[in-house]
Amino acid sequence: MKKLFEIKNLSVHYPVVDGIMGNIKGYVYALNNVDLDIYENEILALVGESGSGKSTLGNSILKLINHTSGEVLFKGENILNKTKKELKGFRKHSQLIFQNPYMSLNPRMKIYYILREPFIIHGIKDKKEINERIKKILELTGLSEDVLNRYPHEFSGGQRQRIAIARAIILNPAFIVADEPVSALDVSIQAQIVNLLTDLKKHLNLTMLFISHDLSVVKYISDRIAVMYLGEIVETAPKEEFFTRHKHPYSQALLNSVPVIGGRRENQKELLSGDVPSPQNPPAGCKFHTRCPYAFDKCRNEHPDLCRLSDGHYVRCFLFA
Protein backbone atom coordinates (compact mmCIF):
# COMPACT_ATOMS: atom_id res chain seq x y z
CA MET A 1 0.00 0.00 0.00
CA LYS A 2 1.21 3.48 -0.89
CA LYS A 3 1.36 6.14 1.81
CA LEU A 4 -0.60 9.34 1.14
CA PHE A 5 0.28 10.94 4.49
CA GLU A 6 3.19 10.31 6.86
CA ILE A 7 2.68 12.06 10.18
CA LYS A 8 5.96 12.20 12.07
CA ASN A 9 6.42 13.19 15.68
CA LEU A 10 3.61 15.75 15.45
CA SER A 11 2.91 17.84 18.55
CA VAL A 12 0.45 20.67 19.15
CA HIS A 13 0.80 22.52 22.46
CA TYR A 14 -1.32 25.62 23.10
CA PRO A 15 0.04 28.21 25.54
CA VAL A 16 -2.24 29.12 28.46
CA VAL A 17 -1.89 32.85 29.00
CA ASP A 18 -2.29 34.48 32.40
CA GLY A 19 -4.27 37.77 32.81
CA ILE A 20 -3.37 41.22 31.48
CA MET A 21 0.40 40.73 31.47
CA GLY A 22 0.05 37.86 29.01
CA ASN A 23 2.51 35.59 30.80
CA ILE A 24 2.44 31.97 29.74
CA LYS A 25 1.45 29.95 32.78
CA GLY A 26 1.35 26.54 31.14
CA TYR A 27 0.42 24.60 28.03
CA VAL A 28 -2.45 22.48 26.80
CA TYR A 29 -0.76 19.35 25.44
CA ALA A 30 -3.31 18.64 22.71
CA LEU A 31 -1.12 16.35 20.57
CA ASN A 32 2.07 14.64 21.63
CA ASN A 33 4.60 13.09 19.22
CA VAL A 34 2.01 11.49 16.98
CA ASP A 35 3.38 9.06 14.37
CA LEU A 36 0.78 7.79 11.94
CA ASP A 37 0.61 6.83 8.27
CA ILE A 38 -2.50 7.13 6.09
CA TYR A 39 -2.54 4.90 3.00
CA GLU A 40 -4.05 5.73 -0.38
CA ASN A 41 -7.69 4.74 -0.81
CA GLU A 42 -8.27 3.67 2.78
CA ILE A 43 -10.71 4.91 5.39
CA LEU A 44 -8.71 5.28 8.57
CA ALA A 45 -10.97 5.72 11.60
CA LEU A 46 -9.61 7.84 14.43
CA VAL A 47 -11.47 6.98 17.62
CA GLY A 48 -11.42 8.10 21.25
CA GLU A 49 -13.46 10.05 23.75
CA SER A 50 -14.19 13.73 23.44
CA GLY A 51 -11.03 15.69 24.38
CA SER A 52 -8.60 13.00 23.20
CA GLY A 53 -7.17 15.19 20.40
CA LYS A 54 -8.89 13.64 17.37
CA SER A 55 -10.10 16.90 15.81
CA THR A 56 -6.76 18.60 16.58
CA LEU A 57 -5.02 15.89 14.59
CA GLY A 58 -7.51 16.25 11.71
CA ASN A 59 -7.08 20.02 11.63
CA SER A 60 -3.28 19.79 11.94
CA ILE A 61 -2.79 17.54 8.95
CA LEU A 62 -4.86 19.95 6.85
CA LYS A 63 -2.71 22.78 8.25
CA LEU A 64 -5.78 24.58 9.58
CA ILE A 65 -4.06 25.14 12.93
CA ASN A 66 -0.43 25.75 13.87
CA HIS A 67 1.70 22.89 15.10
CA THR A 68 4.45 22.98 17.71
CA SER A 69 6.82 20.42 16.20
CA GLY A 70 6.92 17.51 13.81
CA GLU A 71 6.15 16.91 10.15
CA VAL A 72 3.17 16.02 7.97
CA LEU A 73 4.30 14.60 4.63
CA PHE A 74 1.65 14.59 1.87
CA LYS A 75 2.93 12.57 -1.09
CA GLY A 76 6.41 12.95 0.42
CA GLU A 77 6.34 16.75 0.92
CA ASN A 78 6.10 18.42 4.31
CA ILE A 79 3.00 20.60 4.09
CA LEU A 80 3.62 22.20 7.50
CA ASN A 81 6.54 24.24 6.09
CA LYS A 82 4.61 25.58 3.12
CA THR A 83 3.35 29.13 2.65
CA LYS A 84 -0.32 29.94 2.01
CA LYS A 85 0.44 30.30 -1.70
CA GLU A 86 2.35 27.02 -1.85
CA LEU A 87 -0.56 25.27 -0.10
CA LYS A 88 -3.12 26.18 -2.77
CA GLY A 89 -2.67 22.89 -4.67
CA PHE A 90 -2.84 20.90 -1.45
CA ARG A 91 -6.04 22.72 -0.41
CA LYS A 92 -7.68 21.67 -3.67
CA HIS A 93 -6.82 18.03 -2.98
CA SER A 94 -7.85 17.91 0.67
CA GLN A 95 -11.20 18.79 2.21
CA LEU A 96 -12.99 18.75 5.55
CA ILE A 97 -16.53 17.57 6.33
CA PHE A 98 -17.82 18.97 9.62
CA GLN A 99 -20.06 17.43 12.25
CA ASN A 100 -22.69 20.11 11.87
CA PRO A 101 -23.59 20.63 8.20
CA TYR A 102 -25.62 23.75 9.01
CA MET A 103 -22.53 25.53 10.33
CA SER A 104 -20.52 24.70 7.22
CA LEU A 105 -23.07 26.00 4.68
CA ASN A 106 -23.54 29.74 4.23
CA PRO A 107 -27.23 30.31 5.15
CA ARG A 108 -27.48 33.31 2.78
CA MET A 109 -26.31 31.45 -0.32
CA LYS A 110 -28.43 29.27 -2.57
CA ILE A 111 -27.07 25.75 -3.01
CA TYR A 112 -25.93 26.46 -6.57
CA TYR A 113 -23.61 29.23 -5.34
CA ILE A 114 -22.42 27.09 -2.40
CA LEU A 115 -21.40 24.36 -4.86
CA ARG A 116 -19.90 26.86 -7.30
CA GLU A 117 -17.76 28.62 -4.67
CA PRO A 118 -14.83 26.11 -4.61
CA PHE A 119 -14.36 26.61 -8.38
CA ILE A 120 -14.19 30.39 -7.94
CA ILE A 121 -11.70 30.07 -5.06
CA HIS A 122 -9.44 27.94 -7.26
CA GLY A 123 -9.72 30.19 -10.31
CA ILE A 124 -11.92 27.89 -12.43
CA LYS A 125 -14.27 30.09 -14.45
CA ASP A 126 -15.58 27.90 -17.28
CA LYS A 127 -19.34 27.97 -16.62
CA LYS A 128 -20.05 24.88 -18.74
CA GLU A 129 -17.40 22.85 -16.90
CA ILE A 130 -18.71 24.07 -13.52
CA ASN A 131 -22.33 23.25 -14.31
CA GLU A 132 -21.48 19.80 -15.67
CA ARG A 133 -19.47 18.99 -12.56
CA ILE A 134 -22.26 20.24 -10.27
CA LYS A 135 -24.75 18.03 -12.14
CA LYS A 136 -22.46 14.98 -11.78
CA ILE A 137 -21.88 15.59 -8.07
CA LEU A 138 -25.61 15.97 -7.41
CA GLU A 139 -26.11 12.54 -8.99
CA LEU A 140 -23.27 10.99 -6.98
CA THR A 141 -24.59 12.35 -3.69
CA GLY A 142 -28.24 11.42 -4.36
CA LEU A 143 -29.52 15.00 -4.72
CA SER A 144 -31.86 16.29 -7.40
CA GLU A 145 -31.25 19.41 -9.47
CA ASP A 146 -34.11 21.29 -7.82
CA VAL A 147 -31.98 21.73 -4.66
CA LEU A 148 -29.85 24.28 -6.51
CA ASN A 149 -32.34 27.11 -6.21
CA ARG A 150 -32.97 26.67 -2.49
CA TYR A 151 -31.29 27.77 0.76
CA PRO A 152 -29.66 25.46 3.39
CA HIS A 153 -32.41 26.08 5.99
CA GLU A 154 -34.96 24.49 3.63
CA PHE A 155 -33.36 21.05 4.08
CA SER A 156 -33.30 18.35 6.77
CA GLY A 157 -30.05 17.53 8.62
CA GLY A 158 -29.36 14.52 6.40
CA GLN A 159 -29.94 16.50 3.18
CA ARG A 160 -27.71 19.31 4.45
CA GLN A 161 -24.94 16.81 5.17
CA ARG A 162 -25.32 15.47 1.59
CA ILE A 163 -24.93 19.04 0.31
CA ALA A 164 -21.86 19.59 2.54
CA ILE A 165 -20.36 16.33 1.21
CA ALA A 166 -21.16 17.39 -2.37
CA ARG A 167 -19.30 20.66 -1.78
CA ALA A 168 -16.34 18.83 -0.22
CA ILE A 169 -15.90 16.46 -3.18
CA ILE A 170 -16.77 18.82 -6.02
CA LEU A 171 -13.12 19.49 -6.96
CA ASN A 172 -12.35 15.76 -6.88
CA PRO A 173 -10.07 15.78 -3.82
CA ALA A 174 -7.66 12.95 -2.99
CA PHE A 175 -8.23 13.21 0.76
CA ILE A 176 -11.04 14.07 3.16
CA VAL A 177 -11.12 14.57 6.90
CA ALA A 178 -14.65 13.69 8.02
CA ASP A 179 -14.96 14.99 11.59
CA GLU A 180 -17.87 13.20 13.31
CA PRO A 181 -19.91 13.58 10.09
CA VAL A 182 -22.92 11.59 11.31
CA SER A 183 -23.03 12.21 15.04
CA ALA A 184 -25.45 15.17 14.76
CA LEU A 185 -27.89 13.15 12.63
CA ASP A 186 -30.80 10.86 13.52
CA VAL A 187 -29.80 7.19 13.69
CA SER A 188 -32.02 6.41 10.67
CA ILE A 189 -30.18 9.03 8.57
CA GLN A 190 -26.69 8.07 9.83
CA ALA A 191 -26.74 4.80 7.86
CA GLN A 192 -27.59 6.65 4.62
CA ILE A 193 -24.68 9.09 5.02
CA VAL A 194 -22.25 6.31 5.99
CA ASN A 195 -23.33 4.35 2.88
CA LEU A 196 -22.87 7.48 0.76
CA LEU A 197 -19.32 8.02 2.08
CA THR A 198 -18.45 4.35 1.46
CA ASP A 199 -19.76 4.57 -2.13
CA LEU A 200 -17.89 7.81 -2.78
CA LYS A 201 -14.66 6.27 -1.53
CA LYS A 202 -15.08 3.50 -4.12
CA HIS A 203 -16.14 5.70 -7.02
CA LEU A 204 -13.69 8.54 -6.50
CA ASN A 205 -10.69 6.62 -5.04
CA LEU A 206 -10.90 8.80 -1.95
CA THR A 207 -8.70 8.47 1.10
CA MET A 208 -10.45 9.45 4.31
CA LEU A 209 -9.65 10.15 7.94
CA PHE A 210 -12.96 9.37 9.62
CA ILE A 211 -13.08 10.88 13.12
CA SER A 212 -15.65 9.32 15.41
CA HIS A 213 -16.39 8.32 18.98
CA ASP A 214 -18.92 5.74 17.77
CA LEU A 215 -17.33 2.32 17.28
CA SER A 216 -20.48 0.82 15.78
CA VAL A 217 -20.25 3.30 12.88
CA VAL A 218 -16.49 2.82 12.61
CA LYS A 219 -16.91 -0.96 12.40
CA TYR A 220 -19.05 -0.49 9.33
CA ILE A 221 -17.11 2.15 7.41
CA SER A 222 -13.38 1.82 8.17
CA ASP A 223 -10.47 -0.20 6.83
CA ARG A 224 -8.15 0.52 9.73
CA ILE A 225 -8.50 1.95 13.24
CA ALA A 226 -6.28 4.30 15.26
CA VAL A 227 -7.17 4.88 18.91
CA MET A 228 -6.25 8.18 20.59
CA TYR A 229 -6.01 8.96 24.27
CA LEU A 230 -4.89 12.32 25.66
CA GLY A 231 -3.15 13.39 22.47
CA GLU A 232 -1.38 10.09 21.80
CA ILE A 233 -2.01 7.14 19.52
CA VAL A 234 -2.32 4.11 21.83
CA GLU A 235 -3.28 1.40 19.32
CA THR A 236 -3.53 0.98 15.53
CA ALA A 237 -4.73 -2.11 13.70
CA PRO A 238 -6.58 -3.24 10.58
CA LYS A 239 -10.32 -3.31 11.26
CA GLU A 240 -10.82 -7.08 11.59
CA GLU A 241 -7.74 -7.42 13.78
CA PHE A 242 -8.90 -4.53 15.98
CA PHE A 243 -12.41 -5.83 16.53
CA THR A 244 -11.25 -9.39 17.27
CA ARG A 245 -7.78 -8.95 18.86
CA HIS A 246 -7.57 -5.39 20.28
CA LYS A 247 -5.06 -5.24 23.10
CA HIS A 248 -4.83 -1.82 24.75
CA PRO A 249 -6.92 -1.57 27.94
CA TYR A 250 -8.37 1.72 26.63
CA SER A 251 -9.50 0.01 23.39
CA GLN A 252 -11.06 -2.75 25.47
CA ALA A 253 -12.87 -0.18 27.58
CA LEU A 254 -14.12 1.74 24.52
CA LEU A 255 -15.45 -1.46 22.96
CA ASN A 256 -17.10 -2.50 26.21
CA SER A 257 -18.83 0.88 26.31
CA VAL A 258 -20.64 0.16 23.03
CA PRO A 259 -24.22 -0.80 23.96
CA VAL A 260 -25.20 -4.43 23.27
CA ILE A 261 -28.78 -5.51 22.74
CA GLY A 262 -30.20 -7.58 25.57
CA GLY A 263 -27.39 -8.13 27.98
CA ARG A 264 -24.10 -7.72 29.80
CA ARG A 265 -20.67 -8.16 28.34
CA GLU A 266 -18.49 -10.86 29.86
CA ASN A 267 -15.68 -8.60 30.99
CA GLN A 268 -17.36 -5.73 32.80
CA LYS A 269 -14.08 -4.88 34.61
CA GLU A 270 -12.90 -2.87 31.62
CA LEU A 271 -15.76 -0.37 31.48
CA LEU A 272 -14.41 3.17 31.48
CA SER A 273 -14.66 5.10 34.71
CA GLY A 274 -13.98 8.79 35.32
CA ASP A 275 -13.15 11.46 32.75
CA VAL A 276 -10.19 12.00 30.47
CA PRO A 277 -7.60 13.92 32.61
CA SER A 278 -6.94 17.55 31.67
CA PRO A 279 -4.53 17.88 28.72
CA GLN A 280 -3.10 20.85 30.62
CA ASN A 281 -1.90 18.56 33.37
CA PRO A 282 -1.55 15.06 31.89
CA PRO A 283 -0.52 12.20 34.21
CA ALA A 284 3.14 11.12 34.27
CA GLY A 285 4.06 7.68 32.96
CA CYS A 286 1.39 6.00 30.90
CA LYS A 287 -1.29 8.64 30.38
CA PHE A 288 -4.02 6.05 30.83
CA HIS A 289 -2.77 4.79 34.23
CA THR A 290 -5.28 6.86 36.26
CA ARG A 291 -8.16 4.89 34.67
CA CYS A 292 -6.50 1.60 33.80
CA PRO A 293 -7.63 -1.48 35.78
CA TYR A 294 -4.27 -3.19 35.06
CA ALA A 295 -1.92 -0.33 36.06
CA PHE A 296 1.18 -1.31 38.03
CA ASP A 297 4.13 0.69 39.43
CA LYS A 298 6.04 1.04 36.17
CA CYS A 299 2.93 2.53 34.49
CA ARG A 300 2.93 5.46 36.95
CA ASN A 301 6.57 6.37 36.31
CA GLU A 302 7.55 5.41 32.79
CA HIS A 303 6.03 6.23 29.44
CA PRO A 304 5.36 3.23 27.15
CA ASP A 305 6.40 3.29 23.47
CA LEU A 306 4.26 1.94 20.64
CA CYS A 307 5.31 -1.67 20.07
CA ARG A 308 4.56 -3.91 17.12
CA LEU A 309 2.38 -6.97 17.69
CA SER A 310 1.87 -8.05 14.07
CA ASP A 311 1.64 -6.52 10.59
CA GLY A 312 -0.02 -3.13 11.04
CA HIS A 313 -0.96 -3.80 14.68
CA TYR A 314 0.80 -1.56 17.23
CA VAL A 315 0.00 -0.96 20.88
CA ARG A 316 1.32 1.42 23.56
CA CYS A 317 1.19 -0.61 26.77
CA PHE A 318 3.76 -2.28 29.05
CA LEU A 319 1.64 -5.44 29.17
CA PHE A 320 2.66 -6.14 25.54
CA ALA A 321 6.18 -4.62 25.43
Interface contacts to ligand SF4, rule CB under 6 A: 249, 286, 288-289, 292, 294-295, 299, 304, 317-319
Identity of the residue, 146 or 297, whose beta carbon is nearer to ligand SF4 in the bound complex: 297
Do you know the residue count of the chain?
A: 321
Identity of the residue, 155 or 288, whose beta carbon is nearer to ligand SF4 in the bound complex: 288
To the nearest whole angstrom, how small is the minimum distance from the Cβ of residue 248 to ligand SF4?
Answer: 6
Identity of the residue, 92 or 303, whose beta carbon is nearer to ligand SF4 in the bound complex: 303
To the nearest whole angstrom, how small is the minimum distance from the Cβ of residue 229 to ligand SF4?
Answer: 9
To the nearest whole angstrom, how small is the minimum distance from the Cβ of residue 294 to ligand SF4?
Answer: 4
Identity of the residue, 110 or 303, whose beta carbon is nearer to ligand SF4 in the bound complex: 303
Identity of the residue, 204 or 307, whose beta carbon is nearer to ligand SF4 in the bound complex: 307
Identity of the residue, 230 or 299, whose beta carbon is nearer to ligand SF4 in the bound complex: 299
Please, which residues bridge with residue 238 across strands? Answer: 224
23 class by beta-carbon count within 10 Å (0-12 exposed, 13-18 middle, 19+ buried): exposed
Cβ proximity of 242 and 212 under 8 Å: no
Identity of the residue, 190 or 290, whose beta carbon is nearer to ligand SF4 in the bound complex: 290
To the nearest whole angstrom, how small is the minimum distance from the Cβ of residue 249 to ligand SF4?
Answer: 5
Measured CA distances, 97 to 17, 100, 236, 299, 300 (Å): 31, 9, 23, 37, 38
Distant-in-sequence, close-in-space partners of 246: CB < 8 Å, separation ≥ 6: 235, 237, 252, 255
Please, which residues bridge with residue 97 across strands? Answer: 178
Identity of the residue, 52 or 207, whose beta carbon is nearer to ligand SF4 in the bound complex: 52
Cβ proximity of 43 and 20 under 8 Å: no
Maximum C-alpha span of the chain:
67
To the nearest whole angstrom, how small is the minimum distance from the Cβ of residue 268 to ligand SF4?
Answer: 17
To the nearest whole angstrom, how small is the minimum distance from the Cβ of residue 146 to ligand SF4?
Answer: 54
Burial 39-65 (b: 16+ CB within 10 A, else e): eebbbbbbbbbebbbbbbbbbbbbbee
To the nearest whole angstrom, how small is the minimum distance from the Cβ of residue 289 to ligand SF4?
Answer: 4
**Cα–Cα distance for residue pair 313/8, rounded to 1 Å:** 18
To the nearest whole angstrom, how small is the minimum distance from the Cβ of residue 35 to ligand SF4?
Answer: 18
**Cα–Cα distance for residue pair 172/142, rounded to 1 Å:** 17
Burial 167-203 (b: 16+ CB within 10 A, else e): bbbbbebbbbbbbbbbebbeeebbebbbebbeebbee
DSSP state of 267: -
